[in-house]
Structure 1
Amino acid sequence: MLTYIKESVEELRNNVTLPSRAEASNLMVVVAVFSILFALATWGVDTVFSKVVQLYFDYVLN
């Protein structure tokens, strides 16, 4: 376990490069936009399924 941690820290120091501030800001905007779109899509599907289930039970109970 200790070897794994040492190797992970070494890899972070030697092989990982951080993006520039401008690139990080652009990526943040992209992630935010796709998160909002995905949330809206999930809300839409949930709303449709909710209506379908409601219609089904209204039909079955009446």
Structure 2
Amino acid sequence: MVAYIKESYNELKNHVTWPTWAEAQKLTVIVAVFSVILALAVWGVDTVFSGVIEQYFKWIKS
């Protein structure tokens, strides 16, 4: 386990290319925007299907 942690630390320190602060900020904004868009899309689909199912059950009851 200790060897694994040492190797992981070495990998992160010496072999990973970390983004610049500006690039990290830009990517964070992109992820946030797409998260909001996806959440709105899921909400929209949920609302439409909920309405369709509600109308279907009203139709069945009649």
TM range, smaller chain: 0.7 to 0.9
Q: Deviations over 1:5-49 (max 9, x none)?
A: 222112111111221111111111111110111011000100011
Detail structure 1 runs of 4+ shifted over 3 Å in the superposition.
none
**Residue aligning to 1:7:** 7
Unaligned runs of at least 5 residues, structure 1: none
Q: How high is the TM-score relative to the length of structure 2? A: 0.85
Unaligned runs of at least 5 residues, structure 2: none
**Residue aligning to 1:17:** 17
- Identity %, equivalent residues: 58
The aligned length equals 62
Supply the distance in 1 between the matched residues of 2:55 and 2:22 (Cα, whole angstroms).
Answer: 50
